[in-house]
């Protein structure tokens, strides 16, 4: 039995999320079925994160155990061939030790959220960015974002369906920067609560348009109450960027 580490890129638009589900297609199911077609083995794919419906990944890390002898190159090429025409690609594959686990060995995760700050509709980035037609003040958003950095009780920014044992998380970095008509929000932490990034982005958007102040954002955090949340940003603009491991 060989354990393979896979790096996966995907457009989350056609899927119900990463995790296999009974009521719709998932990224996990698509890759597992591709592997079964190649190896004739029923496998379980484990990932560093479980992205929601419509959320994308630039480099999701996953691992899978395969009994049949196969090289990483042939495995990646074979999976990609079977995945066509789905918007999922294996960017890299390599053998790893049996004690590597895509989820439990992970020591850091990074997300990117893209806001298209323009009036015109999105012709190329539809489904891949959140279009906000009113002017957002990225500097104000970034200043307010620093109030969320550090160890906090993030109950306000936590989905009612979150399965994490504790709402307390340490947010290592939350930055907002403007690049022309695009605003990029980057979040980094060891782990996140369900909907945490989208909830933080939704509140920062309120700050950017002047409906909230930094004090309002701080009050929402300190309320430790989901009812204090502004709103959840849509999934379209969210990307899982990378997972970090000690061996990296």
- Determine the Cα–Cα distance for residues 29 and 37; give it in Å rounded to an integer: 12
CA distance 56 to 33: 20
| Buried-exposed string 45-79: b where 16+ CB fall within 10 A, e elsewhere | bbbbbbbbbbbbbbbbbbbbebeeebebeebbebb
Cα–Cα–Cα angle for 100, 104, 106, nearest 5°? 80
Residue with tokens 């993030």: 154
Catalytic-role residue among 52, 77, 153, 216:
52
Could you give the C-alpha distances from 7 to 64, 109, 227, in angstroms and in order? Answer: 11, 14, 37
The β-bridge partners of 184 are 114, 177
Alpha helices (runs of H) in the chain, residue ranges in sequence order? 27-39, 72-83, 138-145, 196-208, 214-223
* Active site annotation includes 125: no
Q: Could you say which DSSP state residue 210 is in? A: T
Task: For tokens 């590597």, name the residue.
Answer: 100
- Residue 245's closest CA among 94, 64, 46, 104? 104
Catalytic sites, residue numbers: 52
């Amino acid at each position: 039995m060989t354990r393979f580490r896979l790096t996966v890129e995907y457009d989350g638009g056609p899927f119900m999320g990463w995790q296999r589900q009974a009521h719709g297609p998932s990224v996990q199911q698509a890759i597992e079925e591709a592997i079964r077609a190649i190896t004739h083995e029923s496998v379980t794919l484990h990932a560093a994160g479980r992205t929601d419906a419509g959320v994308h990944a630039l480099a999701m890390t996953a691992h899978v155990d395969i009994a049949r002898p196969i090289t990483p190159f042939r495995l990646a090429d074979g999976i990609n061939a079977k995945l066509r025409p789905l918007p999922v690609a294996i960017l890299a594959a390599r053998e790893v030790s049996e004690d590597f686990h895509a989820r439990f060995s992970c020591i850091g995760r990074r997300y990117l959220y893209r806001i298209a700050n323009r009036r015109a509709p999105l012709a190329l980035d539809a489904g891949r960015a959140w279009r906000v037609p009113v002017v957002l003040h990225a500097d104000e958003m970034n200043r307010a974002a620093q109030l969320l950095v550090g160890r906090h009780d993030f109950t306000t920014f936590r989905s009612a369906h979150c399965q994490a044992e504790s709402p307390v998380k340490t947010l290592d970095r939350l930055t907002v920067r403007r690049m022309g008509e695009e605003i990029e929000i980057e979040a980094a932490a060891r782990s996140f609560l369900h909907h945490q990034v989208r909830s933080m982005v939704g509140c920062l958007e309120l700050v950017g348009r002047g409906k909230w102040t930094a004090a309002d954002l701080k009050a929402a955090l300190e309320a430790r109450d989901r009812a204090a949340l502004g709103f959840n940003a849509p999934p379209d603009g969210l990307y899982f960027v990378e997972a970090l491991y000690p061996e990296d």
